Chain A
Amino acid sequence: MRKLGTLTYFFVILISSNITSADTTDKQPNQIQTESEKLQWIIESAKNSEKKAPELNVTKPQKKEPASIKKNTPQDSKLTPTLNKTDSGAIEKTVPDDTNTTDNIQHPEQTPLDQIDQTIPPENIPTADVAETSEQPEKFDISKQTFNDDKEKGLAIIKEVDRRDTGWQDSQAKLTMILKNRHGDEHSRKLKMKIMEVKGDGDKSLSIFNSPRDIKGTAFLSFTHALDPDEQWLYLPAIKRVKRISSRNKSGPYLGSEFAFEDLSSFEVAKYDYKYIKDEIYDGIDCFVIEAYPLYEHSGYTKLVLWIDKNRYILLKTDYYDRKNSLLKTQTFHGYKQYLDQYWRPDEMRMVNHTNGKSTILLWKEYQFRKGLTKRSFDKNALKRAR
């Protein structure tokens, strides 16, 4: 019975650590019945996680992790002409897609009076207005250009998507993955992702797993290349071992989810051939529909069909066609917000697998940009101590 004291002590450790890992929201995803409850839950979690009061359109200083800008000029100012204006602080604009909520707004550290957050109700997104208010570079006008064929037009649109998403230098975010099977069973994974832009090559990324707890501390380092094989290392904390792994596994599931490794690796224009198909209204938004054909080896897909917002040049939906050219999966992007006055990031991505009835939801939060990450943040030493 002498052991009892020790055991009690261990039990206390067990409980208190559970608290550290427990969700801040009362409601778990598996208790949620309807779509609106689901959205409410997502909003609540976002609010709770940012410890923010739900006031509407109120600008106030936010201490916790704003998407602040360092005062360094972008390396290529031609590519990002609006960035110099934003030195005083970042603004974020919320354009809700399928929600009527207007309280999910992030507040910058110091927002000048003339840069108050704007929230535009979804039914009246006059597309030209959005472009105007967000002060996007508008030198690119697809209607004023002529193309020899739809391939050229598709490539031009993708290049514009890529151009507008260049210059953020580095970013990091927290990610919750919710895996659902056809019986409604749910499992979640929590991880942190850090990404660094590499000029003239693919991005470097580091994913750090926090849950399930048995793989806590496991980390995945990837140097993406457009057509050359990626370089990848995995750190296994239980045996302190860094393993170089084969990057051939493009089509395999990422952490048991419906996302394949290739769905989450960084986007490079040169990875695909493109073809413009048509214009189409998707979810009330005017879109280009473009097909992308993977050029890299070992892709699990014959083609991807992309719905790209004509005004913001961001991806709203992707259909994935498998090697037999039948529709395998559909990915949709929700809750886009703008960071550093330029870069759009979704709060949520949903992937539905049409063949096995499983789906995966990715909830992104606490996006941060330009935190001064260097190549040292993406080496094997960093991999071993990643948290």
Chain B
Amino acid sequence: MLLNEHDKNMKTLVNLLIFLLLPIQALSALEISGYVGVEDLVFTQNPLDNRQHNNYVSGVIEPEIYHEWDDGTQNFAFVPFFRYSQHDSRRTHFDIRELNWMKIAESWELRVGIREIFWGVTESQHLVNIINQTDLVENMDTEDKLGQPMINLALINDWGTLDLFILPGFRERTFPGVEGRMRILPIDIDNARFEKNGFERHMAYAFRWSQTLGDWDIGFSHFYGTNRDPLFLLDSDRAGNLRIIPFYEMVNQTGLDVQVTKDAWLWKLEAIFRSSKTFNYFASTFGFEYTFFNIRETGLDIGVLAEYLYDSRGRNIQTLFEDDFFVALRFALNDTQSTEILAGIVLDRTTSAKFYNIEASRRFGDSWKLEIEARFLAGIPKDDPAYMLRDDDHIRMELSYHF
């Protein structure tokens, strides 16, 4: 294979360079890894706004520098991130995903610095996952997060792990710019509003207790601080142009996440109660994942996923999933190239709006990876917040080199 040839050539080149760079390597006991990639984002329909484009090429790099010492009980990690995008100046962005130090003891762990935390069990959305801000401009699937400064003390006992968080430094959500897609109006992030300003805006506090009890994995959490999810206010600027302004309230959010693992069944539940000045509401995602393993001894696994998404605010301009079903199939070939496909639909029960999502990935050679994502919307009514994305069906392809 061509890529294998390339890998061999790279190895030869690397072996030659070892002699030249050996002293550098010896000086730094740092472990360096990461990836570089090129991405093409293709929109299949013409834009609603003639300042937008149909094709965006971009490049990304995310190296990781890691060092551990003291017999592995202390470590340091630095993960900067940069994407350069054609056309959309907001999508050209830099972030520090991680810059932290960790100290590990038998009954506690202290983690200080910029980090990313994931809480939760469901697949269609991540309600309880509140610590980090979403890097929406990076990918509209909301899976990418901005680095969050924190002091996190984990107390580890037989009764479970209790994580305590102090989160100084609020991060605003990223949005596409004027020339970017997946927006109806440019979001005026420069005029974002906040319920609290100064110190209070920037501080948040949280805890999470988590424990495994046999087949049950349980997490219970509470968060107080500036909401990571902004509300959107429609406004007009001095020249009379309409604009959307994000508004960040203070919220209290209590969350529960439970997964019960029985044989090939994963039963999942996430539930939150969130209160702010504007809303007091309950939201939940629950469902299952069942996997048929090693079908006909081919190594192929097929998973069937079904979840129900509920939001007590009902049909509302601020929420996308208030009474929706999610069904999906996950194919894992378990081959040498780790080929995986996830194909799903979110169906709005009241409006019959449909959101199709297909994600596929495959390794080439030993170091290259190709990811393809396709997202399509159908039947979106005019009063649904997703209506602004009705002409933003797209395919995203990223080829990355991992080192």
Which residues of A line the B interface, CB within 8 A? Answer: 3, 10, 13-23, 26, 28, 179, 181, 185, 187-188, 211-217, 229, 231, 239-249, 251-253, 256, 298, 300, 322-323, 374, 376, 379-381, 385, 387
Partner of A252, one of B21, B24, B293: B293
B36 cross-chain contacts in A, Cβ below 8 A: 10, 14
Contact B366 A212 (CB under 8 A): yes
- Closest chain B residue to A25 by CB distance? B15
A10 cross-chain contacts in B, Cβ below 8 A: 36, 61, 63
Roughly how many angstroms separate A231 CA and B214 CA in the complex, as a whole number? 8
Contact A22 B293 (CB under 8 A): no
Contact A185 B4 (CB under 8 A): yes
- Closest chain B residue to A3 by CB distance? B84
Query: B337: CB under 8 A from chain A?
Result: yes
A187-B336, A188-B366, A240-B118 known; A19+B17 contact, CB < 8 A: yes
Contact A16 B266 (CB under 8 A): no
A215 cross-chain contacts in B, Cβ below 8 A: 338
8 closest A-B pairs by beta carbon, nearest first, are: A213-B402, A17-B32, A252-B294, A214-B402, A249-B293, A256-B336, A240-B118, A241-B118
B63 cross-chain contacts in A, Cβ below 8 A: 10, 13, 17
9 contacts between A and B (CB under 8 A): A18-B10, A240-B117, A244-B261, A245-B266, A374-B106, A376-B156, A380-B210, A385-B104, A387-B66
B281 cross-chain contacts in A, Cβ below 8 A: none
Contact B266 A244 (CB under 8 A): yes
Roughly how many angstroms separate A85 CA and B161 CA in the complex, as a whole number? 41
- Closest chain A residue to B369 by CB distance? A214
Q: How far is the CB of B312 from chain A (nearest CB, A)?
A: 27
Query: B179: CB under 8 A from chain A?
Result: no
Contact A19 B21 (CB under 8 A): yes
Q: How many residues of B contact A (CB 8 A)?
A: 68
The number of inter-chain residue pairs (CB within 8 angstroms) is: 154
Which residues of B line the A interface, CB within 8 A? Answer: 1, 4, 8, 10-11, 13-15, 17-18, 21, 24-25, 31-36, 61, 63, 66, 68, 72, 75, 84, 102, 104, 106-107, 109, 116-118, 120-121, 143, 154, 156, 161, 210, 212, 217, 259, 261, 263-266, 291, 293-294, 297, 299, 301, 334-338, 363, 366-367, 369, 400-403
- Closest chain A residue to B295 by CB distance? A252
- Closest chain A residue to B336 by CB distance? A256
- Closest chain B residue to A181 by CB distance? B336
Contact A216 B33 (CB under 8 A): yes
A14-B36, A22-B11 known; A248+B21 contact, CB < 8 A: no
Partner of B263, one of A181, A229, A231: A229
A248 cross-chain contacts in B, Cβ below 8 A: 263-264, 291, 293
Contact A246 B297 (CB under 8 A): no
Contact B17 A15 (CB under 8 A): yes
Contact A244 B403 (CB under 8 A): no
Roughly how many angstroms separate A18 CA and B6 CA in the complex, as a whole number? 14
Roughly how many angstroms separate A381 CA and B102 CA in the complex, as a whole number? 12
Partner of B14, one of A15, A239, A322: A15
B301 cross-chain contacts in A, Cβ below 8 A: 249, 252
Q: How far is the CB of A194 from chain B (nearest CB, A)?
A: 11
Contact B366 A376 (CB under 8 A): no
- Closest chain B residue to A238 by CB distance? B143
Contact B212 A251 (CB under 8 A): no
Roughly how many angstroms separate A253 CA and B264 CA in the complex, as a whole number? 16
Greatest chain B CB density within 10 A among A10, A26, A300 is at: A10
Contact B118 A376 (CB under 8 A): no
Partner of A211, one of B24, B120, B154, B366: B366
Contact B403 A17 (CB under 8 A): yes
Roughly how many angstroms separate A13 CA and B13 CA in the complex, as a whole number? 15
A213-B33, A213-B367 known; A19+B18 contact, CB < 8 A: yes
Contact A22 B156 (CB under 8 A): no
